[in-house]
Amino acid sequence: MQTKRMTFPGKWLPFALLAPQVIITLIFFIWPAGQALYQSLLREDAFGLRTTFVGLENFVRLFRDGAYLNSLSVTVVFAVGTTLLSMTVALLMASTVNRMIRSRSTYTTLLVWPYAIAPALAGVLWWFIFNPSIGIVPYMLEMVGYRWNHRNSGSDAMLLVILAAAWKQISYNFLFFLAGLQSIPQSLLEAASIDGASPFKRFWTIVFPLLSPTTFFLMVVNVVYAMFDTFGIIHTTTQGGPAQSTNILVYKVYADGFVGLNLGSSAAQSVILMVIVVVLTVIQFRFIERRVNY
């Protein structure tokens, strides 16, 4: 890794400058992560009196546990649903806004602010408008003959949390898509247009392929968002229910550890989540290197 050609001399000063960051990292990141690794290999008895070293048994149990496997598949559905929904809407909005000249900044302003809303608040907002007894959407759905009830129906509950999560993420995707669209050379589109390509044809054969680096980048970011930043949405709405149908992995770590007090299992789940984050981060960074060359 490079530095400047010329640097300051100094033996203790660089360490002093790094110290605050490094100390906080060691105490609140590295140490707890190490603890999670260590605890994932232990098992406490029912009274918390004795802990025994059990090797990888916690992991083996997890992958035999129907509830955990269910949580994995719920997470996949949730992450894919959120990513697809919010990216599709964002791309539609961005490519339409990109056509505009005078109204572009107005529409952009109107679309970016949901980024500021906390996931937990997004959860409360959508929970309220979908509330089976007083919400407005179930009332309208009732008129077309559908009885919405996310307290009983797992698929209704899943739809609700996906909507809330995707809603909040639209502004982020929108901004990146818009930036991607603006970097596409106008001359390409003009040439295609002179050759008689319709707007749809131009979109699919020129714009969409040129946007693919942005799209891949956003896919990774959205999956990370759906997996790790949506705790607030689940906690303020379904709390993993009904019947575990929205019990995503980050929520399960919390519920098993703090509510269920099953420390060994919760630690093992933490470790699995860390592995997932590391893999996703590596994908993201490898991809970004390619994006720069592109």
Partner 1 sequence: MVENRPWANFFAHTVLIIGVALVIFPVYIALVASTQAPGDLLRGTMPLLPGSHGIENYKLMWQSGVSTANSPPAAKMLWNSFVMAMAITVGKLSISLLSAFAIVYFRFRFRMFFFWLIFVTLMLPVEVRIIPTFQVVADLKMLNSFAGLSIPLIASATATFLFRQFFMTIPEEMLEAARVDGAGPLKFFKDILLPLSVTNIAALFVIMFIYGWNQYLWPLLITTDPNYTTIVMGIQRMTAEENPQWHLVMAAVVMAALPPVLVILFMQRLFVKGLTETEK
Site residues for partner 1, 42-101, by CB under 8 A, read 89, 92-93, 96-97, 99-101
> Of the two residues 8 and 53, which places its CB atom closer to partner 1 in the complex?
8
Among 69, 147, 258, 290, binds partner 1 (CB under 8 A): 258
Q: How far is residue 262's CA from residue 21's CA, in Å, rounded to a whole number?
A: 32
- Minimal distance, residue 60 CB to partner 1, in Å: 20
Site residues for partner 1, 129-148, by CB under 8 A, read 129, 133-136, 139
First to last CA, the chain: 22
- Minimal distance, residue 24 CB to partner 1, in Å: 4
Give the count of residues interacting with partner 1 (CB under 8 A): 103
Tokens of 115: 């980024």
> Of the two residues 60 and 179, which places its CB atom closer to partner 1 in the complex?
179
Q: How far is residue 57's CA from residue 266's CA, in Å, rounded to a whole number?
A: 13
Instruction: Output Rg (C-alpha) for the chain, integer angstroms.
Output: 24
Site residues for partner 1, 15-44, by CB under 8 A, read 15, 17-18, 20-22, 24-33, 35-36, 39
DSSP string, 114-159: GGGS-HHHHHHHHHHHT-TTT-HHHHHHHHTT----TTT-HHHHHH
- Minimal distance, residue 271 CB to partner 1, in Å: 9
Q: Which residue has the tokens 């996906």?
A: 162
Piece in contact with partner 1 (CB under 8 A), picked from 52-60, 78-86, 119-127, 145-153: 119-127
- Minimal distance, residue 293 CB to partner 1, in Å: 14
C-alpha dihedral sign at 28, 117, 124, 83:
negative
The DSSP code for 55 is T
Side-chain-side CA neighbours of 15 within 13 Å: the count stands at 3
Among 63, 128, 146, 208, binds partner 1 (CB under 8 A): 128
> Of the two residues 7 and 293, which places its CB atom closer to partner 1 in the complex?
7
Piece in contact with partner 1 (CB under 8 A), picked from 57-65, 80-88, 150-158, 259-267: 259-267
Q: How far is residue 275's CA from residue 30's CA, in Å, rounded to a whole number?
A: 14
- The reply to whether 7 sits near partner 1 by the rule CB under 8 A is yes
Beta bridge partners of 53: 42
Site residues for partner 1, 150-209, by CB under 8 A, read 167, 170-172, 175-176, 179, 186, 189-190, 193, 199, 202
- Minimal distance, residue 236 CB to partner 1, in Å: 5
> Of the two residues 95 and 245, which places its CB atom closer to partner 1 in the complex?
95
- Minimal distance, residue 81 CB to partner 1, in Å: 17
> Of the two residues 15 and 63, which places its CB atom closer to partner 1 in the complex?
15
Q: How far is residue 17's CA from residue 11's CA, in Å, rounded to a whole number?
A: 11
- The letter for the amino acid at 252 is K
Tokens of 87: 């990216």
